[in-house]
A and B are shown apart, each in its own frame.
Chain A
C-alpha cells in the first residue's frame, strides 16, 4: 500500500462516546461478565447462607414450633452475614489489577459508576439470597403465608445492605487484611435494616400489616441510594491514593 493512498482517505478517528449512560451500561456489563465467570464467588454466599441455617436446628432444637418462631431473625441474620462475606471481593479484584484507578480517572462521575457496581453486587448476591430464603424458610417451618413477605423484605433490604456495605468495602480495600475490620465497620450500620426486615416477617407471622415495615425498608433504601454513592466514591479515592 502506497502512502498516497492513506493520505487520500479522510482521516476518521472513532471518538469514544463518553456519555454517562454508555459508561454505566459498559460498567454493568463488564462487572456482570466478570462475576458470572467466577461462578464460585457468586455461589459461596448462597452456600454459606444454607449452611448457617442448617447449623441452627442442630444447635437449638429440631422442634418445628420453636424454629418457626425464631426463623425470621435467623434467616435475616444469616443473609446479613452472607452479604458481609461477599463484600470483601466487591472492589478487591479491581483494586489489584488497576482497573479501579481507571474508573477513578474516567470523566464520568465516580458516584454514578460505583452505583452500577453496587447494582451488580445486589443482582448476584442480594437477589439470589432473597430468592433462596423461602426454601430455607420452609425447612425452618415458616408458615406458607409469610414466604412472599420474606422474599420481598430481603430483596428490598439487601439492596440497602449492598449500598452501605460498599462504603465499608471501599474504606478497607487498600488494607491487606481488611476482612475483620470490614465487619466491625459495617455490621453496626446494618442494624436498622435487620430490625425492620425481620420485623416485616414477624408481622406477617402474627398476621399484622407488613406495609409499615416494608415502607420503612423502602425509605432506608431511598436514603442509602441517595447518600452512599458519594461516601463510596470518597472512600475509594482515599483507598486508592493512600
Chain B
C-alpha cells in the first residue's frame, strides 16, 4: 500500500503509467461524447413542455457536474499534497483549476442560453445559479492566489489551503436547492435514485456525463504530464527523454 503511494508520488512513474492510461480515456471520452451528442440531439424525443430547447441539458448538466466534481478533486489533491507532500498531486491540482473554472463558465453560459426559451430571461437570482457564480469566483480566487506568490511552493500550499476551505462551499451548492427553492426546478438527474425522465432522454445524458468525466481525466493526465516535464526539466530522466526524441 505505502509502496504503491510512494510510487504514485514519483513524477517519473506517474509519467510512465499515465502514458499507458491516457489513450483509453481519450478513446472512451470521444466515443461517449460522440454517441451521446448524436443520440441526444437527433434521436431523443422532444420535451412535451420545453420542446427542443431542453436538449441544452446534454451540455449543461455534465458541465455543472464536472464544475463541482473538479473542485472536490482539486481540494482532495491539495490535501494529499499538504499531508504527504506528493508533488504530482499539486501538479494535478494546478492543472485542474482552469479546467474547473472553464466548466463552471460553460454551465453558467449554457444555463443562460437555456433560460431564454424556458424562463424568458438570461439570468435570475436563483439559488443554484448564484451558487455556480460563487463557485466561479472561488476558482478564480484559487488560480489568482497560486499565481500571486513569488515562490512556487508557497503558492501551491496557499492554493491547497484555499481549495480545502472553499470545498465547504460545495455542500452549500448541493443543498441550496432545498434551502431557498425559488424559480429553478429541483435537480432532475441523480445517479442514485430512479430517473424522472423517460429512458430515451436519460440514457444519452448519462453517456454525456460519463464522457465528460473521461474527457476531464484524460485532459488532467495530459496536462499533468506537461506540468511534470516543465517542473522536472532539470532532472536526468527528463533530459534523457528529450534527447531520445530529438
The closest CB in chain B to the CB of A216 belongs to B179
* Complex CA distance for A195 and B130, rounded to whole angstroms: 12
Binary flags per residue of A159-182, CB closer than 8 Å to B gives 1, else 0: 000000001000110110010010
Determine the chain B residues whose CB is within 8 A of the CB of A192 once the complex forms.
172
Total A-B pairs in contact (CB under 8 Å)? 63
Determine the chain A residues whose CB is within 8 A of the CB of B141 once the complex forms.
181, 184-185, 188
Contact, CB under 8 Å: B158 / A171: yes
Determine the chain A residues whose CB is within 8 A of the CB of B166 once the complex forms.
188-189
Most buried by B among A181, A234, A238, A242: A238
Contact, CB under 8 Å: B140 / A231: no
* Complex CA distance for A235 and B158, rounded to whole angstroms: 7
Determine the chain B residues whose CB is within 8 A of the CB of A189 once the complex forms.
165-166, 169
Instruction: Provide a sorted-by-A list of 21 A–B residue pairs whose CB atoms are within 8 angstroms.
Output: A167-B161, A171-B158, A171-B161, A171-B162, A172-B145, A175-B149, A178-B148, A181-B145, A181-B148, A185-B141, A185-B144, A188-B134, A188-B137, A188-B169, A189-B166, A189-B169, A195-B180, A231-B164, A231-B165, A242-B155, A242-B157
Contact, CB under 8 Å: A184 / B153: no
Expressed in whole angstroms, the minimum distance between the Cβ of A225 and any Cβ of chain B is 14
A187 at interface by CB-CB < 8 Å = yes
In chain B, positions 143-174 with a C-beta closer than 8 Å to chain A are: 144-145, 148-151, 153-155, 157-158, 161-162, 164-166, 168-169, 172
A191 at interface by CB-CB < 8 Å = yes
Most buried by A among B150, B165, B169, B180: B165
The closest CB in chain A to the CB of B133 belongs to A188
Contact, CB under 8 Å: B137 / A187: yes
Most buried by A among B134, B137, B161, B162: B161
A241 at interface by CB-CB < 8 Å = yes
Determine the chain B residues whose CB is within 8 A of the CB of A185 once the complex forms.
141, 144-145, 162
B77 at interface by CB-CB < 8 Å = no
* Complex CA distance for A235 and B151, rounded to whole angstroms: 15
Contact, CB under 8 Å: A238 / B157: yes
Contact, CB under 8 Å: A241 / B154: yes
B66 at interface by CB-CB < 8 Å = no
